[in-house]
Amino acid sequence: MIRRTLGEVAEMLGLGSGQLQDVEPNVQIRGVSTDTRTIVPGSLYIPIRGPRFNGHDYVREAIAAGAVAALWGADEANAPTGVPLLLVRDTVAALQQLAAVYRSQLKTRVVGITGSNGKTSTKDILAGLLGTAYRTQKTAGNLNNELGVPLTLLALEEDTEMAVVEMGMSGLREIALLSSLARPDIAMITSVSEVHLADLHTRERIVEAKLEILEGLAADGLFIYHADNPLLTGRIAELEPGVARLTFGERESHDLHATSWTMSEAGIAFAVNDTELDNLFLPMIGKHQLSNALGAIAAARHLGLTPEQIRQGLLRVEATGMRQEVAYAGKLMIINDAYKSNPPSLRSALDTLMSLQPHKRKIAVIGSMVELGEESDALHTAIGEALDPKRIDRVLTIGESAARIAAAAAPRYPAGAVMTYDETQRQELAAALLAEADHDCIILVKGSRSLRLEEVVQRLLSEVREREAAR
């Protein structure tokens, strides 16, 4: 993490002596925090004004918790006295500037990853690979926005050799900003899909937003992208030819593609068109994870990893939570995919469910998808129309939009096999799933984070395990 004196921090932020209050220039900071709950002794506290809170109200609390100083926004009244403060125009902009300058002082090589789907899993896989050969850090959890990316950069140790930085967005010019801060040596786009239609309205604008990652790419950098999407590849064909490129995907024409693969509930065994890379195994489920692995392998090979390091790295991936986490309780296998849902990721999750152990009973718990704009109704209906009662035995939906999935699926299912719940009925949903506990079945729980479906998973696991222990 960043370790600089307050004097050096002031210089990095372009502050003069008149913008320092009770600051001792030789005091060293040890990391930054925007949350008083994560303060460690030596932190620099950066207060953020949000829609429902104002971090400036907690500056004294931060100092009491061990922060050695805090930033203070110019538009904030009543700056506390007797507290070391660095007075800045805007605390968010200052956080970003501090991160950009710190990044420029590091020798760390950065891989920036964006995409409508797959960026978090690709980040996790690539970090696992690079960790076999380099001192590696990655974006923690989902710190991938205008606050998360600078916090990720400021968390890098001076001796970190490789950093894998995830970049998310909801509108135009957001990834451009993040890329300018991270200045990636490799930029990767994992996918482009309907996510963010509510904000960007067209798929063309989504492609435009994702391609902003190239704006911060090093002059001698590499652009890696999933080349199965014609909308993306068509736009890339219009770019200046100067950027080095590497493609991955399903087609044999791509630079890296799988030549064979098999999937089980333990993970994916596969080989690729690089003849040195055989006998690969990724302990993650779902064909979409194969695509994520290809992107990660492409970057790892470019960064010098050997085939054996890649084999070992795939086995040591530490996945971010609630993304197809598999857990067992009694006769149940539960796939917890409750962090995010959109049409491509939902289709992938359903394909995974259908591909596992055909003799077992299959239950799909599907929550409403968000940020789909005017196409939301049609996209939910299309999911329901594609559900196959021969391969998925029951469908339980939760949320107003997801009810359209149930309505489209119900005519093909037996009575009672399709049920709908509103967003307040998580306990009722959990009770319906508990009734399945004596069956040998696989349950997929897929939804957006706002539905808090992890609570359903936790109750289901807890109660089934308690029943088993009592027997």
Assign residue 84 the CATH number of its domain: 3.40.1390.10
pLDDT of residue 152: 98
Residue 374: CATH number of its domain: 3.90.190.20
Residues 359 and 449 both lie in one domain: yes
Residues 359 and 452 both lie in one domain: yes
Pairing type for strands 109-114 and 186-189 reads parallel
Residues 224 and 253 both lie in one domain: yes
Residues 308 and 335 both lie in one domain: no
Q: Is residue 451 part of a domain?
A: yes
Q: At which of 254, 284, 315 does a domain end? A: 315
Cα distances (angstroms) measured from residue 286 to each of 159, 267, 289, 323: 35, 8, 5, 11
Asked whether the predicted pLDDT for residue 181 surpasses 80, the reply is yes
Asked whether the predicted pLDDT for residue 358 surpasses 90, the reply is no
Residue 305: CATH number of its domain: 3.40.1190.10
Q: At which of 288, 315, 342 does a domain end? A: 315
Q: Is residue 191 part of a domain?
A: yes
Cα distances (angstroms) measured from residue 251 to each of 30, 161, 226, 255: 48, 33, 10, 9
* Domain extent for 196: 106-315
Residues 359 and 210 both lie in one domain: no
Positions of E strands within 348-432: 361-367, 394-398, 418-421
Q: Is residue 95 part of a domain?
A: no
pLDDT of residue 405: 98
Asked whether the predicted pLDDT for residue 2 surpasses 90, the reply is yes
Q: Which amino acid is at 302?
A: H
Q: At which of 280, 315, 350 does a domain end? A: 315
Over residues 85-102, the mean pLDDT reads: 98
Distance CA 146, CA 314 (A): 30
Instruction: Select from 175, 128, 118 the least CA-distant residue to 324.
Output: 118
Asked whether the predicted pLDDT for residue 1 surpasses 90, the reply is yes
Which range (43-57, 196-210, 220-234, 436-450) has the least confidence? 196-210
Which range (17-31, 187-201, 391-405) has the least confidence? 187-201
Positions of E strands within 376-466: 394-398, 418-421, 441-446
Pairing type for strands 258-264 and 32-33 reads unpaired
Mean pLDDT of the chain: 94
Domain count, the chain: 3
pLDDT of residue 322: 66
Residues 286 and 368 both lie in one domain: no
Q: Is residue 101 part of a domain?
A: no
Over residues 314-333, the mean pLDDT reads: 87
**Per-residue b or e along 447-463, where b marks 16 or more CB atoms closer than 10 Å to that residue's CB:** bbeebebbebbebbbeb
Q: Is residue 311 part of a domain?
A: yes
Positions of E strands within 351-448: 361-367, 394-398, 418-421, 441-446
pLDDT of residue 333: 94
Residues 79 and 190 both lie in one domain: no
Residues 334 and 308 both lie in one domain: no
Q: What is the pLDDT of residues 249-259, one digit of tens each?
A: 999 999 999 99
Instruction: Select from 97, 80, 78 the least CA-distant residue to 15.
Output: 97
Share of the chain above pLDDT 70, in %: 100
Residues 169 and 303 both lie in one domain: yes
Residues 297 and 374 both lie in one domain: no
What's the sign of the alpha-carbon dihedral 227, 182, 34, 146? Answer: negative
Q: Is residue 96 part of a domain?
A: no
Residues 38 and 173 both lie in one domain: no
Over residues 422-447, the mean pLDDT reads: 94
Pairing type for strands 28-30 and 3-5 reads antiparallel
pTM metric for this prediction: 0.88
Which range (148-152, 319-323, 425-429) has the least confidence? 319-323
pLDDT of residue 139: 97
Residues 119 and 235 both lie in one domain: yes
Q: Is residue 97 part of a domain?
A: no
Q: Is residue 69 part of a domain?
A: yes
